[in-house]
Amino acid sequence: MLKVLVIDDSAFARNMISKILINEGYDICGEASNGIEGLEAFKNLKPDLVFCDIMMDEMDGLECLRAILEVDPAANVAICTSASDELHIRDALEIGAKGFLPKPINALEVIRITKKLIGKPGQGEQTSYKAILEERARQKGITVKQLLDFYAAFHQLTGFTFEDENIDEKFLQEKGSGIRIGVSALLSAKMSSDQAEDMMSVFESLYL
């Protein structure tokens, strides 16, 4: 079952997100009221997705986000804050947050973001190519920035995001070699040749 961790100093917000996702069939594996507790919960529970509030005492959401990504650069973290909090939203996305949940919390938005980042309940056994790529990248020491640069180059070249349903075994086997050449060229302007080669070797492992 897909696991979600909710980090927020508001018990009301935690309960609301948890109830919405439990009703949709997700497993709320843990809740935390600040970043320090949230980081420990992440290490112990290894959730598929984290919802993390920005404004918290002891360790705020941005610090918690950085710490989580140090543990797992491929972690799925969606930050929660007011839509008017543009500075913090921008900072969080630059650090490596995968999504943004505006407050006040809307059930449809919670469900939409969750499905976008980790899929629907019942799909947990069907590991996506994106999840495989990110796990192999993590094992190889690929940074969040390298992954984001890869995703941007992949989209620029193919017109698809890596979560797109078209990214399947047939697509990768037929197009993989050509994509590798094109994306590698685009990455040469973003990172060193060694970093680009490491990133492309992880991508190549999906279809060879």
Q: Over the stretch 166-200, which tens digit does the pLDDT of each residue have?
A: 787 788 889 999 999 999 999 999 899 999 999 99
Q: Are residues 53 and 114 in the same domain?
A: yes
Q: Are residues 38 and 134 in the same domain?
A: no
Q: Is residue 94 part of a domain?
A: yes
Q: Are residues 70 and 112 in the same domain?
A: yes
Structural domain ending residue among the three candidates 67, 97, 118:
118
CB atoms within 10 A of CB 204: 16
pTM: 0.61
Q: Is residue 159 part of a domain?
A: yes
Q: Name the nearest CA neighbour of 176 among 167, 187, 189, 186.
A: 167
Structural domain ending residue among the three candidates 89, 118, 147:
118
**Structural domain boundaries, residue 193:** 129-204
Q: Mapping DSSP to helix (H, G, I), strand (E, B) and coil, where does residue 29 land?
A: strand
Q: Are residues 79 and 8 in the same domain?
A: yes
Domain count for the chain, please give it: 2
Q: Are residues 62 and 141 in the same domain?
A: no
Q: Are residues 8 and 111 in the same domain?
A: yes
Q: Are residues 45 and 109 in the same domain?
A: yes
pLDDT tens profile 77-90 = 999 998 788 898 99
Q: Is residue 124 part of a domain?
A: no
Q: Is residue 158 part of a domain?
A: yes
Q: Are residues 151 and 176 in the same domain?
A: yes
pLDDT tens profile 14-63 = 999 999 999 888 999 999 999 999 999 999 999 999 999 999 988 999 99
Q: Are residues 141 and 71 in the same domain?
A: no
Q: Are residues 96 and 174 in the same domain?
A: no
Q: Are residues 48 and 104 in the same domain?
A: yes
Q: Are residues 109 and 160 in the same domain?
A: no
Q: Is residue 123 part of a domain?
A: no
